[in-house]
Structure 1
Amino acid sequence: MTIKKSTTLGLIGSICIAGNAYAQLDMNDASKNRGIPAEYSQFQSILAVSKLQISEPHGKKGNQIQVAEDSNFSNIVNQYFYVDKESEAFVFKMFGDHRRAELRVHENFRSDLPNTFYRLSASFKPVAPQESMKDSDITQNEITYLQVHNKGMNDNGDGGIPHPLLRVVWKQDANGVMGHYWAIIKANSLICKGERGADNIGKDACKPQNAYKHYDLGIASEENDTAFDVIVGNQKLVINVDGKQQVDHDISYWKHLLSYYKAGVYNQFSNGESHAEFSKLEYSVDQIK
């Protein structure tokens, strides 16, 4: 078996920004400590295939702005999205519940191809997540760092569901397990919330213990980076943590949906700011022959 690995590349064009909140969010705000991510070679490949989804931290809950939709990240930098000039860590921050600073990889891919595997590789550490949540008044208290989400059944978004397939999170308290990373996987493709899911909400398959599978990925180090490889292909979702396989999950129920990757921070806690530092963030496609 030979694996041919090639990183998907994109074209650099003009900056594209959309969203009503942009007037309150300066995306050209470098400083003596904040470097422009596009100027660091180790992050150029992921930026070349992605756009930025970022919230106005004091805007409406769930708001997001699309930045660099054509992957031109020239001069895109602010206090929530930058490279630390001293450590050269790629920093993502965000304040407030249901707000985000995430790269969204453009490619929407099939999860059922037998010889094609889509991989997101990331090494990162959370910065003081417990301190971030000290004033939170909700119970979920999670920060999501990596996602596999769905576009729907085609690139137009038809038939999509409002649930990601995967979230890799730091969770403050999971039934007494404190400060661990978790893989939270949607265990079926049913819509289990909102108007579109009204007919499903009462079903057993939409009860939390059935709708999601939780994998404990171990205690989260705040001193050293943890390396994650998330791999999707051949109807499987595989997660390797520091080189060891921790998850091998059948996702045959997901094969009708196109998927895509996200990385950064997404908050599910209130009255605080998340902070993550990435030393590595890469997207690639592996072909097996």
Structure 2
Amino acid sequence: MLCFSGSPAAITPEASVRPQPVLRAAPAGYRLRTVVLDAGHGGKDRGCAGVSAREADVALKIVLELGRLIQDSMPGVKVVYTRKTNVFVELADRAGIANKNNADLFISVHCNAAAPNAYGTEVWTMGPHKTDANLSVAKRENAVILQEDNYQERYNGFDPTSPQSHILFSLYQSAHIVNSIRFAQKVDRQFRTTVKRPSRGVKQAGFLVLWKSTMPSVLIEAGFLTNRTEEKYLNDKAGQSYMASGIYRAFRDYKNELEGMNGE
């Protein structure tokens, strides 16, 4: 049975968030030592698709480039991947990898799908959805569990096809929501100001891949493969590199900020 605690809290795009949440000081001597990078979908689950691009492939390329940037610039940070090849990894196992490695941050990268005119990046944290559109994204990403064995038992009876299940599940409040939102806002800022991508903001919804992670965590929708312009950008090596560099800069700033507030 799912246990719910805390009251629902809504988050809007960063431009309208005033002020940023107060970040609790980290323990004395805190260092961000481990990050888990999760390329969404993979193997038998190809995710959404454009004319030629597949979500599983695009997400993996962005994640591998992001990991390379972190490893090259921050040798003191351990980078762990949930997958480095085109394999299927169950949602609970993705969070399990992060928990097993005592990760300080979990970053899941995906691509979006909607009507052909939809465009823009989105950065998600765990929390209650405010709109039907938010619910729609969560339902699409959570539906992958239908390809898993014994998913009803493993996910406590959660039904990815049921709006009622998502409504209840989205009320779950992570103990790490403050830092999750802080990192999400930094990613969104980088996408808008440095990478120069249109942004749909920082949002919340109930994502199974974030639910069981015991650290700050975000899910990034890099753009819409169903939009021909964005598909071309995301399927291009340069576009993938730009997206990865934006996430890297957000990670660098987040790490520096946390370590600068460690109470020493």
Instruction: Flag whether TM exceeds 0.5 (same fold).
Output: no
TM-score (normalizing by structure 2): 0.32
Instruction: Calculate the TM-score normalised by the size of structure 1.
Output: 0.30
Bigger Cα Rg: 1
